[in-house]
């Protein structure tokens, strides 16, 4: 009886060790693929959810895989804290264990990232001095030329996804105390601009934008993502 118990314990330990080794191999393979395709300095951190891994691997289906990229640059723009969540993923066990990811398919890829306000300002007109989140919305401060007169003002803007990226549009304006009034129609012509972030890695296109204290949090989604189709 004692020998049987020892054997069972040894088998359980072996299965756990094998499970952890298998998941590490698969995670590293996915990380290398992402790093190579997007020219990253270091492979991202990859975590395959669910335990045990081997039962998912045998079935060839994984509920979720999280990819933490960190800083990423593309489309002439840099973002921070880029994370990609893959859900309902299918991939043959043999491919992952041998470092092959081309047959990996995810039903959905949801990417989130932070676009710093300094980056947004890089694409704004030169009259913009600062961009920040305020109680009444995203606030743009600057000095604007009205009929040859430089007028300091604070403008509340909206930021929404568009076909070309993040579209910034003035919705209200407050001139400096004692200064002349600035027409909102004028500002909409002079201050509407686009930040050219159309999509994040894996073909995820912008779906939501949320200003915050440190920058604009963007969310992008792609469906039926095939690693074999990565650029």
Domain positions in the chain: 2-115+200-209+219-229, 124-195
What is the reported pLDDT for 16? 43
**Span 164-173, average pLDDT:** 92
Number of Cβ within 10 Å of residue 18's Cβ equals 13
What is the reported pLDDT for 104? 80
Cα–Cα distance between 74 and 196 in angstroms, integer? 10
Q: What is the pTM of this model?
A: 0.80
What is the reported pLDDT for 6? 45
Q: Are 181 and 149 spatial neighbours (Cβ–Cβ below 8 Å)?
A: no
Cα–Cα distance between 162 and 176 in angstroms, integer? 31
**Span 7-30, average pLDDT:** 52
23 pLDDT more than 50? yes
The DSSP call for residue 202 is G
Share of the chain above pLDDT 90, in %: 34
Complete edge-to-edge strand list for the sheet that includes strand 45-48: 45-48, 61-74, 77-90, 105-116, 215-226, 204-211, 199-200
**Span 214-225, average pLDDT:** 94
Cα–Cα distance between 102 and 226 in angstroms, integer? 7
What is the reported pLDDT for 33? 74
């Amino acid at each position: 009886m004692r020998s049987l118990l020892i054997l069972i314990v040894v088998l359980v330990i072996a299965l756990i060790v094998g499970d952890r080794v298998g998941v590490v191999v698969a995670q590293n393979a996915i990380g290398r693929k992402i790093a190579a395709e997007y020219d990253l300095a270091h492979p991202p951190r990859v975590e395959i959810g669910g335990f045990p891994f081997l039962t998912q691997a045998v079935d060839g289906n994984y509920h979720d895989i999280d990819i933490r990229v960190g800083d990423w640059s593309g489309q002439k723009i840099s973002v921070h804290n880029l994370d990609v969540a893959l859900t309902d993923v299918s991939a043959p066990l043999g491919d992952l264990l041998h470092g092959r990811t081309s047959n990996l398919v995810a039903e959905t890829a949801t990417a989130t990232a932070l676009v710093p306000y300094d980056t947004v300002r890089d694409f704004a007109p030169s009259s913009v001095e600062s961009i920040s989140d305020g109680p009444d919305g995203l606030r743009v401060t600057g000095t604007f030329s009205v009929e040859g007169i430089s007028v300091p003002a604070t403008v509340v803007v909206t930021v929404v996804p568009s076909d070309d990226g993040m579209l910034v549009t003035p919705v209200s304006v407050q001139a400096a105390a004692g200064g002349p009034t600035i027409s909102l129609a004028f500002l909409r012509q002079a201050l509407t601009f686009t930040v050219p972030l159309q999509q994040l890695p894996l073909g995820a296109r912008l779906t939501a934008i949320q200003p915050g204290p440190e920058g604009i949090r963007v969310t992008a989604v792609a469906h039926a993502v095939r690693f074999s189709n990565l650029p």
